[in-house]
Structure 1
Amino acid sequence: MAQGPACAPHQITALARCLTEAAAVRTGRRLAGAHPVTVLSAGEALHTTAGLLGGPHARYVHEINTTEDPLLRFLGRITSWGRDRVTLLAPTDQVRDDLASLFPHVPCRNRPFAVADPGDRISETERCAAPWRSGIREDLTRRYQHSLDGSWQTDSPAIPTEAWRLLDHLDQHDGRIDVHDQDLSFRPVSLTRTPSWWAEEATSIVDTWRPPANNHSQSGPTIPSPSP
């Protein structure tokens, strides 16, 4: 008796991911109301199926490693009218070209994953209102204390020192991070290229925090206590 083609594991994974994304989009649309919904790391296939089942949304597709097998292509064809419900977002020109070739009838735009449009950046009011995740400060304090009292063993003073720096910063800024503080050196970066300053800074970080060759015979730097 003739048997049909076996279903490859990645087909099953792609279908399961599509159904999961569709369910997440439906939940997101219900909770977000009139706000748009975006899948930040979408699967490589079944875009129209996700749109048909989940509803209107944007989909970030970061790379294309596999192509749809006959079963997935068939499912994509019978759900093709869901193409009006999705917009594909590609972080690079190459990914956009791949998507346009594989899914020519699905709208696709090139848009870096990192925020590139100044209009998309959060305002000063939004930044100041941004809450801390509950427990972060307690985690930092525990990391600092356990590193100093020997509960956590480490060959480098980086963990307690960096934890203290952030705790001290919070004490000086009413429990919030001041993104304009020059000591923090926040700078714009891109996912598509390495910043020109990174090699020098990375070398400095390694040289500063490299554990000593014989940490039993060398004492680490003195680390101050956080402000009370």
Structure 2
Amino acid sequence: MPPLVAVIGPVEPELLAAFTAHYQRLGITAFHLAFHFPDHVPSSVKTPLLKAAAALNGPPPILSEGPWHEHLHAQLRDELRAAAGNGWHLIADSDEFHAYPAPLPEMIAAAQAAGTLTVGGVLLDRVTADGSLATWDPAIGLDVSYPLGGFLTGLLLGGDPRKIVLADSRVDLALGSHRSPGHKPVNTPVPVHHFKWRRGIEQDLQRRITLHTAGTWREIGPAIRTEAARLLEHLQAHGERIHTAGPIPFYPVDLATTPPWWPHACADLLDRWRPPGSGPS
């Protein structure tokens, strides 16, 4: 099985536990994790998370603190990939839960047979039933707490919905692991259930805008700020909720089932989506 590579921010310990358990069920046994804590994160957040990480997976191989510069995620990810060694790697952030249609060895074998060294996915943003940015109850789990899924990132925020979910160690990954230059996946995209829209995300997005605008956190391009601003504007316009009954459709989904509409919807999304300011791909 491929080792998992993940860069993790100051998330709740329960999310880390759910993340680890999800990938263990897929057969992952080796976890290469890096933790980054920006300056504003107190020890009351860091200490429980690191304690939980040690209990689940041993001490993290990389612990980073300071400004959350845009390039830092990729830097830490690549350090982890180097430590993971040769072969295929599973790439995921702590709020990304992949739902593969076949066992991982079959996914990798199919990619190799097709002549590519990557497997691709698409972000399926998970939200609460009423669109509120609520906390979740580990007793009932993420699936029940956030029962709806839609293309919020790609359609509302204009963000890149593509993700490289499996990659051979010989290929490079772009920022955010959205693509691998020269190695385009050929598979039907794997659903990447994206549990980002939880309580506290508003403050996180506003902080990104403020600190990147000030230059305290260095950026490579304006996408982080513009996507955050779009989400905050949307929340303000809809009573601090994601408008689940609006023009962007949201459907009941779960981690165990790939909906029948998924391949067509992904193909339509990827056919229409373009990076801001770009022409046809």
TM-score above 0.5: no
TM range (shorter): 0.3 to 0.5
Provide the TM-score with structure 2 as the length reference: 0.28
Could you say which structure has the higher strand fraction? 2
Structure possessing the higher radius of gyration over alpha carbons: 1
Could you say which structure has the higher helix fraction? 1
